[in-house]
Structure 1
C-alpha cells in the first residue's frame, strides 16, 4: 500500500502515516469520524521524517512528534558538560604556562639592564699549616725587602775637590763629592795631594740597616790621546786602607787591593743614620804621562734597607 487509507498521503517507512498518524494497516473508521481528520491534523505540528544514516535509503518517519523533542533535550543535556570540561582544560594549560614562565611574561624581571653584582672579597682562611695545635692562627712574617745600594739617597760631605780641568777631548771634568754616589765608575771625587786621615760622611734621612759597604778606591778611567793610552787609575793616588764608622760605635776596617773593581766588606746588619769613611792609608802618585798628585775615589756602595 503506497497511500494512507485515511488521508491519502504517500506512505513512508513505518507503521503510521506521517501526515495524519493513522495506522497503515488499520481500516478507516466509518461515519463522521472519518471526515474529521482534516481538522484534527491541521491543528498538529507537522513532524519531519528523520534522514536515514545510510545513503539512498528513504528516511523512516517517527511514529509521533516526541522523538525530535527527546533528541533535542538529550543534546542540550551534555553540551554544558563539554563546555565546562573545555574551560577547565584551558585554565589548567594557562596555569602550567604561567608556572613554567614564558618569554612574554609581563611580570618577569628584565635583567638585561641590570649591572652585575660586584663580588665582595672573601677573607682568606688560614690553612692547616698556619694554625697552632691550640687552634690559634699564627701571623706570617713580613716579606723581606732585598737589600739595595742606598748610597745615592744620602747627603755626602767630603774634603774640597781638586779644581775642574779638561779631558783629552776638551770636555770639562769636575770631581765633586756627588760623583761618589752616582754609580758611574768613570767619574770620581778627588782632592789635591795626599788624603791620608781625611773623612767623608754619608747621611741618610732616617735609621737604615746596612749589610755591606764598599768602594772603588781610585779614578777608574782610561783615555786615549795622540801619544797613546792614559790610565788615570794608575796615575792618581789610590786609597789602600779605610775605616767605616757607624752611629752605634761600630768600626770596621778594610784593606784594599789596587784594582778597578768594587771592593766590599760585609756588616752584621748595622743600623745607622750616618756612615763615616776615614782614609787610613793612601798610595803615592803613579809614574808616566797619567801621573797626578790627587787622592781619588770613584764610587761608594752602602747596601741595605730602611730600618
Structure 2
C-alpha cells in the first residue's frame, strides 16, 4: 500500500512514513512497531514530534485501534515514545539533555574574568583551554548493544572512519566498563538511552547512533517491474527484524522475501535471489546477482564521532579502510 498523499509543501507526519500490508505474514502490530522504530532511529521523526492518536491511526491506516494501542504501548515501554500532558505521544529524546546555554556562557565569562584578574592574556587562556580539551578527548569507543551482531555491524562501519580502539560491551558489563574507561566515548543505537543512560556516570560522553535513511532501499524495491525474490542477509537478528518490518509491506502479491541470519565465519551464495540487501559484515561473505549494502550508521553520526575523537584519530578519505 503506497504512502498516503500529502499536500505539496506540507510537512509529512508520522503516519505518512508507515506502510501496512494486511496480507503480510508479519503481524500488523509488529509492522507498526518496527517501522516506527526505523523512522525514529533514522531521524525522520524528530525528538518531541507528536504522533497521530490511536483513533487517527485507526482511520488513516485501517488498523483496529486495539492493535495501534498495543503497538504504541510497546514503543513507550521500550523508550521510543513518551506520553505527555493530555496523553499525547511524542518521540523521545535520545541524548542526555545538555546544560543550559546560559549556564555555559556564565562559566566561560567567569573563566575569562578570572584569567584577566590574574594577569593572563586571552591567547594564554585560549592555548590552555585547547590543551585541556585535547587531553580530555576520548581515546576509544565503547559500543553497547543487547544484540551482539548489531554491535559487530556498528564496529565494522566505524572502523572505516576512525583509527582509535573500538571495544564492544554487553549491557550487563556497561556499568563497570564505563567507570573503568573514563576516556571512552560510549555509543549505542538511537532509542537505547532510557535503558543504557542510567548505567553510565553522569559525566560520561555518550552518543546515540542514528541509522541510515532506508529510502534508497525502499525505492529499489518499488522500481521492480517483474515478480522478484528479495533477500536480506545479516549477522544480527535485530537488524533482520527491523529490515523485514520495512520491506515486507512493499511486497504485495508479486514479490517474495527471504531472510538469512549469517553465523560467524559463514558464507552464502544466493543464486536464486533477484535483489539482495546485506549488512556491512555479511556483504563480503555473500554472493548474488544484484547485491546492495544496507548501511546501519548514518553519515551524521559518523561525523559527530569523528569530531568528538579529533582529527588525529579520524581516518582521512583515501587512507586504508576509509571511503
Q: TM-score by structure 2 length? A: 0.17
More helix by share: 2
- Of Structure 1 and Structure 2, which has the larger fraction of its residues in strand? 1
- TM-score, normalised via structure 1 length: 0.18
Who wins on radius of gyration, i.e. which is larger? 1
